[in-house]
Amino acid sequence: MKQITFFIFLLMTGTLSLPASKKPLYEDNKTQSYEQLISAYRHLAQEYPEASLLEAGETDIGKPLHLFILSGDKIFDPVKIGQSGRPVVFINNGIHPGEPAGIEASLQLAKDILTDKDHMGKYLDKVIICIIPVYNVGGMLNRSHYHRANQDTPPESGFRGNGKHLDLNRDFVKADSKNTRSLEKIFRETNPLVFLDTHTTDGSDHQYTITLISTLCQNMEPAMGKYFHNTMVPALFETMKKTPYEMIPYVNLIHGSPDKGISAYNDLPRYSTGYASLFNTFAFMTENHVYKLFRDRVKSVYFFMKGLIGFTHEHASEMMTLKKNADLSVAHQEKFVLSWELDTTVRKMIPFRGYSLSKRTGEVTGLPYRWYDHTRPFVKKIPFYENFNPVKTVEKPDYYIIPQAWEEAVERLRINGIRMVRLERDTLIQVTSMYITSVKYTQRPYNGHFQHRNIRYREEKQMVKFYRGDYIIPTDQPGNRYIIQVLEPDAPDSYFSWNFFDPVLDRREYFSPSTFEEKALDVLEKNPDLKKRFEEKKKSDPAFARNRYQQLGFIYNHSPWLEKSYMRVPVFKVTKEK
């Protein structure tokens, strides 16, 4: 009896791994539990010398983040992988564990590569494959019949939020979670050529089992973006046509119905693909269609993974050259686009297999709702909008400086492999400071933050005292696109927008209207131009003329008494004279 009990304990803890059954769970509309999944990968690592399972960081739930590596050269150290010169395909699964098709497909893919050495095993003679079995460990452990009420998932699946109740696919820039910080470290160490994140969507209804988000090609280094858009993406769509699962771009509706057009997705750096592309990585996100059979969802993303690795294997030399050149180009690039907007004047027509929209009356509410009628399928061409225009462009400085007090920003720069130099002594430096002039404060939290929007700032040349240990960030490095996106305050996913620097939005020094009168008079007497503007404002603004506090505040805000750090972003620019 004791031996049986100990045997069960070994199975439950994963200390003992058993081969998976011949019939995959997904064939029976089931998905792995966390324990089953890690045990299956552990078994593969134990059985095959080309495979290794690493504990590669922490997660918010207290369990490790695992990394499964397939390497024909048996290189299993992430840093050595990044330095190997081999093309790396990095696959991330389970960012939303209620979308488990990629979890099952990656496990099947790993098994097939290791066992079918004559065919799929050939990929490992060039390509190193890194798989995150499940990224959102806390969400996968939170299994239930009652997640995803509107989806036809397996009977049990994981939860969208992680152990910290965060949506990890909105966390890549702000990196609030241990999961994100661990993943980013692995990502930057392995330096992948290709990145894939696997998802499921219920955003619309159509005949396709799989759709694809390709990172915004206009936001890539030009030569790399051209190859991505004109060669790689079309080839992957053609590959999928040869399988039972033809693919369509992600159905990102413009006006509520596919008939009126769909658009490419502007994947900001908060998302996995937008983040990955900042480092000159070809980035994709599969979106399986939730109303299709689970086994078909798994098989469709399996075929896509196989096609993606096959394309990388075939074109490795050309792709690696593009990435290497992009790294060099970005290091010397002078201007960067901060934000983009969809160009609705440019479109192309693409074939689309959909269902006609009808209206039904709800039996519960008695009210009408839109409904895709599966008895009325159609095939027709619809508009696809994929061109984006730059909204805002910025010229990079030679350096940024961040005081060491802002350790959350510094930590994220360090995790992402950004080269920084620390000042060796206290120094007075002429810099360009950025002062926030207007910002929209959101009223509700978004993924744990009251994110700032519509940010405007003015620049001012100043002599600023910095201290030994403060950080200088050169802008002559391949990570420039990440640097610009997080440090320029009006970028949509900047550190400022995600509240990293909120203390500067509060005053720390004030004036008392009962005692400031004499100082205010002195300020006006020493500044005739300010006195003129003050008098003009009193004449033009009756409310201002009647409000003593506003008048003194006007003078205070234009006087040496106003604190220099108020509304000043603690990121400073240094540009050498040319």
Over the stretch 288-326, which tens digit does the pLDDT of each residue have?
Answer: 999 899 999 999 999 999 999 999 999 999 999 999 999
Question: Token pair for residue 274?
Answer: 């937008």
Look-up: residue for tokens 């350096």?
399
Multiple choice CATH, 41-330, 3.40.630.10, 3.40.50.620, 1.20.1090.10, 3.30.465.10: 3.40.630.10
The reported pLDDT for the residue numbered 546 is 95
* CA–CA dist 242, 480 (Å, integer): 39
Candidates 351, 318, 303; CA nearest to 228 is 318
Distance (Å) of CA 482 to CA 279, 374, 399: 7, 45, 14
40 touches 53 (CB < 8 A) = no
Over the stretch 71-97, which tens digit does the pLDDT of each residue have?
Answer: 999 999 999 999 999 999 999 999 999
What would the mean pLDDT of 380-409 be, rounded to a whole number? Answer: 97
Candidates 264, 166, 173; CA nearest to 212 is 264
Reduce the DSSP state of residue 105 to 3 states and report it. Answer: helix
Candidates 119, 98, 93; CA nearest to 41 is 93
Q: Has residue 222 got a pLDDT over 80?
A: yes
Candidates 89, 68, 116; CA nearest to 309 is 89
Reduce the DSSP state of residue 489 to 3 states and report it. Answer: coil
Report the chain's terminal Cα–Cα distance, integer Å. 82
Q: Has residue 562 got a pLDDT over 70?
A: yes
The reported pLDDT for the residue numbered 20 is 44
The reported pLDDT for the residue numbered 32 is 94
275 touches 219 (CB < 8 A) = no
What would the mean pLDDT of 216-230 be, rounded to a whole number? Answer: 97
Radius of gyration of the chain (CA): 28
Helix (H) or strand (E) holding 371: strand 368-385
The reported pLDDT for the residue numbered 6 is 41
504 touches 405 (CB < 8 A) = no
Percentage of residues of the chain with pLDDT beyond 70: 96
- For the chain, which residues make up each domain, given as ranges? 41-330, 351-389, 390-508+564-574, 517-557
Distance (Å) of CA 90 to CA 263, 308, 423: 26, 11, 36
The reported pLDDT for the residue numbered 14 is 41
CA 44 distance to own-chain centroid:
30
Secondary structure, 3-state, 398-462: CEEEECCCCHHHHHHHHHCCCCCEECCCCEEEEEEEEEEEEEEECCCCECCECCEEEEEEEEEEE
- Average per-residue pLDDT for the chain: 94
What would the mean pLDDT of 247-261 be, rounded to a whole number? Answer: 91
Q: Has residue 396 got a pLDDT over 60?
A: yes
Over the stretch 446-501, which tens digit does the pLDDT of each residue have?
Answer: 999 999 999 999 999 999 999 999 999 999 999 999 999 999 999 999 999 999 99
